[in-house]
Structure 1
Amino acid sequence: MEVITAVLAWTVSSVCRDFFASGDRWGICPRNVHDIPTELQSRLSADAQIFLPGSSEFSQATDRWSALSAPTANIVVVPSVENDVVEAVKYANAQNISFFAVSTGHGSTTTLGKLQDGIEIWLHRLNSVEVAADGTTAKIGGGTKSKTVTDALWAQGKQTVTGACECVSLLGPGLGGGHGYLQGRYGLVSDQFVSMNIVLANGELHTIDAESDLWWAIQGAGHNFGIVTSVTSKIYDIQYPYWAYETFIFTGDQVEVLYEYIGKYHLNNGTPPVDLMSQSLYFNDFNINSTNAQGVKAVNPAYTTPFHDLRPIVTTAGHGLYTDISKWMGSAITSPPCQKAGLVNTLFPIDVEFYDILAQRKVYDLFASVTQQIPALNRSVIFFEGYPVDGVKAVHSDQTAVSYRADNLLISPLITYAPSPATPELDRAAADLGGGIRQIIYEGSGREELHAYVNYAFGDETTQNWYGYEKWRQDRLKALKEKYDPLGKFSFYAPIV
């Protein structure tokens, strides 16, 4: 009888490891059998935190921008120093529990939903910005938001390339390349990286730079290889503090002429001006074009007069500092698009070289028709982002895992809706709309390849769509994956394999 009891106790203990890792939904496991929070806390620094389900802190840590196919956690670890990430990963590996790092929770690709009941490593306290003595670089914590980076550097007369949304981290988009306002002069976010501290799949902390074979992959496919706890980035003296903008609203019957003008005056036959951005969107029955120029207090009339001549129904203009741009663009940390409102937010990205006028009309008509037929989708928008590209194209495409440097435009339908009992039907309708829009633009591009910005990925794209069609590129990524993450610990965000 004692033997049976001992075997039973061992069996419960063993099984409970798995039950706790998967949520112990049946409540059969005593917590003193395998107290993960206590064991894990003992490995962490004194200021590190652990949050469990049911607490407000856990809810805040696991809240996400998009409610569709989100990863889930049974425990949240909040590192206070970089070594806490090391200990969390080593412990998760020892217990055979999945883990994932979160900075701000804005990743929306559906591939993340494959990770359920894991350990979340919330990096938001690793948010320092330390400018080097020579003023050419800054060491930035792995969870630091773009706004924090911009403000901290600005206070010292410096700046660097960050993502356009203030609420996302520097490294979230940076590991996938990272588009931003200053890319025309300096390149992508990842092009600024000088070195980084990274926790690999085995839990080891390494400092890597251009001497490492992993460096090539980190710049563009970095989500597949580790948790970056800090990065040293190039920074620059502020040269153009003043920026100006003009915004126009047009009716839908002007789609063709509007995009003809954008192509002529802003894309400039494939060589966009380095000091000009053109952003536009479809929203219900309106088309909004916003033009931003750097280093000035008014946008050059050569760029804006043709749009005034089209007699927009609304025109606004203004000027201010570089730090005001995200407010003008509606992507400030307090702007509605940055808030986590419990909505489903799905993106269907495609990068192209030029606007195809016929495709722009077809996209507009499809978008207007579906959002009217399905009111639940009428919060959706389509973004047409035209950042300057000189700095991006200055880096040869074989130098990093970012492959689509020749493209001038980043297009992404953002299909938004509130979850409801009818969500499965809405999910299908939203995917059909987003996918349909992307297909129209793809066909209009005349290309055989579909280029999809990995940071906006929906999740149904191929590795070729994300990381390039060249065989050598795919082979190199797979070889590095086998070397640094053979067990696939980092295979949930736009996975290579």
Structure 2
Amino acid sequence: MRRFEVALLLSACALCAVSCNSCPENCESPDGLFRELRNSLSRAAVVYLPGSEEFEAATTRWSELDTPTVNVVVVPATEDDVVDTVRQANNCGVPILTFNGVHGSITTLVAQDGKTATIGGGASSKTVTDALWASGKQTVTGTCECVSYLGPALGGGHGWLQGHHGLIADQFVSVNIVLADGSRQTIDSSSDLWWAIKGAGHNFGIVTSVIAKVYDIEHRDWAIETLIFSGDKVQAVYEVANKYLSNLPVDITNWSYWLNIPDADPDRPVILFYIIQEGVTVVDPAYTSPFRDIGPISSEAKSGSYRDLATWTEVAVDLPPCQKAGLANPRFPIYLREYDVAAQREAYDTFAANVGENSPFSASIFMFEAYPQQGVRAIDSELTAFAFRNENLLTAPLLTYKPAGKELDDQAARIGNQLRDIIYRSSGHKELHAYVNYAYGDEKPENWYGYEQWRRVRLRGLKQKYDPEGLFNFFAPIG
């Protein structure tokens, strides 16, 4: 049975000394907390302490930037294990970070009635996709196979099928959640917390399972055209993208990356450009021909099924982006309505100047994601904590490097924010809208959750009601 982990962070004894007048005996050391947890959890649950190989494997992160200090890791086997872990953490005044990354589910994914499925809290996007596909069903998941189903969902969650059905969070029918007080509740649209779960859910508890909408597979055929352009074509590429790939039809998705591919261009980053179409075996030339006319270095057409998309776009579970390789991977996201061609040129030149062969950031990429928006916009923005339903493009530089101290971390932050600022200054927006699941961490809550005052008031009120001590404050806190 594959699982997610619950990490108990920082020094238990130190935290108890600060937060309690009398420190409970089991808080005096990680060993004491370990014993209490082992006595209270189910037989199938596992608890790891520092020094073990299992602890090291469980706490290794995809991005090694500002990694938290973990004292105890709990691998729950049941939803009640999560309840017991939260209660023990509360007794000790120890904060919690829940993560699942590339792990599977603590409960089996079960189809209910042909319209919904129960999905465990640790299920990966690939697990969900494969299990549903075998039953002739599908739902909106994240695009990257190794990413968990619920991680992106709690921040809204973009996916290949969002043009039809909306965000991942829009598929929720009900949620089992362990709250900060250690209680386990099932919440749905009748709960005041329902609104917050869909866009800011990581601030309110540990979601152990959800019932989500599923759909009959409408199209088994998918096709992709992959084009590679040299950097001098950057303005032409995005000018044509504005003309032919804005307000995408429901069956078209467009991604592009800037990255180093020495075999294509040994001197500067190239533009790797994907046009993906659903329900066909060849992408409609109406979309591909204008880009071929620009003069790419290469172009390649493929056909297959929905399950091939992650491999085609290089985010499959067995490919390098899904591996934990001890690298730092900060991103600096910004939503856009359309490309500013001059800004794309400036950003490309700045990116190229900082990611050359001899740079510590040579493995970095600049990401541009354009999904169909019909299903996302069909839902009133006021109905969810996810606020940015009117944006067309999700962009983010991703600075990848081997950690080597604060100076290099600071350099990465300067480059990433410089690149984002170039795009932001040209956008004409007075507000910086940032996808919370890609957040770097120096953004403000309004950048993640919306600038409307009522949103901030509502989120803070719910936080005070459900997590007044800030037990779940590690990821993009509401403030």
TM-score between the two structures when normalised by the length of structure 2 = 0.92
Deviations 1:208-232 (A, max 9, x none): 0000000000000001000000000
Rg: which structure is higher?
1
Structure 1 residue 228 corresponds to structure 2 residue 207: yes
* Pairing partner for 2:37 from 19, 36, 40: 40
Amino acid of the structure 2 residue aligned with 1:458: Y
Structure 1 residue 211 corresponds to structure 2 residue 190: yes
Structure 2 CA distance, aligned partners of 1:200 and 1:354?
Answer: 40
Aligned-residue offset at 1:54: 1.6
* Pairing partner for 1:18 from 10, 13, 18: 13
Task: Report matched runs for 1:230-309 at 5 Å.
Answer: 230-267=209-246, 271-284=247-260, 285-309=269-293
Aligned-residue offset at 1:126: 1.0
Match of 2:54 in 1: 57
Aligned-residue offset at 1:100: 1.6
> Cα gap change, 1:241/1:21 in structure 2, threshold over 3 Å: closer, same or farther?
farther
Deviations 1:223-272 (A, max 9, x none): 100000000000000001110001111111111111011111111xxx21
Match of 1:115 in 2: none
- Give the SS at the match of 1:345: coil
* Pairing partner for 2:80 from 78, 83, 104: 83
Structure 2 CA distance, aligned partners of 1:151 and 1:256?
Answer: 39
- Give the SS at the match of 1:412: strand
> Cα gap change, 1:254/1:488 in structure 2, threshold over 3 Å: closer, same or farther?
same
Deviations 1:400-451 (A, max 9, x none): 001000000000100010112xx32211211111101110111111110000
Structure 2 CA distance, aligned partners of 1:85 and 1:57?
Answer: 19
Structure 2 CA distance, aligned partners of 1:397 and 1:33?
Answer: 44
- Give the SS at the match of 2:187: strand
> Cα gap change, 1:33/1:307 in structure 2, threshold over 3 Å: closer, same or farther?
closer
Aligned partners of 1:21 and 1:74 also within 8 Å = no
Structure 1 CA distance, aligned partners of 2:85 and 2:459?
Answer: 26
Deviations 1:361-398 (A, max 9, x none): 00000001122386111111000001111111111110
Structure 1 CA distance, aligned partners of 2:477 and 2:27?
Answer: 36
Match of 1:95 in 2: 92
Structure 2 CA distance, aligned partners of 1:369 and 1:306?
Answer: 29
Aligned partners of 2:180 and 2:466 also within 8 Å = yes
> Cα gap change, 1:377/1:127 in structure 2, threshold over 3 Å: closer, same or farther?
farther
Structure 1 residue 494 corresponds to structure 2 residue 473: no
Aligned partners of 1:79 and 1:125 also within 8 Å = no
Amino acid of the structure 2 residue aligned with 1:379: A
> Cα gap change, 1:17/1:431 in structure 2, threshold over 3 Å: closer, same or farther?
closer
Deviations 1:125-145 (A, max 9, x none): 51521000x210000000100
Structure 2 CA distance, aligned partners of 1:90 and 1:211?
Answer: 26
Amino acid of the structure 1 residue aligned with 2:380: H
Structure 2 CA distance, aligned partners of 1:32 and 1:218?
Answer: 34
Match of 1:377 in 2: 361
- Give the SS at the match of 2:143: coil
> Cα gap change, 1:447/1:321 in structure 2, threshold over 3 Å: closer, same or farther?
same
Amino acid of the structure 1 residue aligned with 2:284: N
Match of 1:439 in 2: 421
* Pairing partner for 1:419 from 371, 392, 403: 403
* Pairing partner for 2:152 from 161, 173, 195: 173
* Pairing partner for 1:462 from 432, 440, 444: 444
Aligned partners of 2:121 and 2:210 also within 8 Å = yes
Structure 1 CA distance, aligned partners of 2:349 and 2:48?
Answer: 47
Match of 2:462 in 1: 480
Structure 2 CA distance, aligned partners of 1:416 and 1:431?
Answer: 11
Amino acid of the structure 1 residue aligned with 2:458: R
Moved more, 65-74 or 454-463: 65-74
Structure 1 CA distance, aligned partners of 2:337 and 2:105?
Answer: 39
Structure 1 CA distance, aligned partners of 2:472 and 2:27?
Answer: 31
Aligned-residue offset at 1:320: 0.3
Structure 1 CA distance, aligned partners of 2:328 and 2:210?
Answer: 31
Match of 1:110 in 2: none
Match of 1:190 in 2: 169
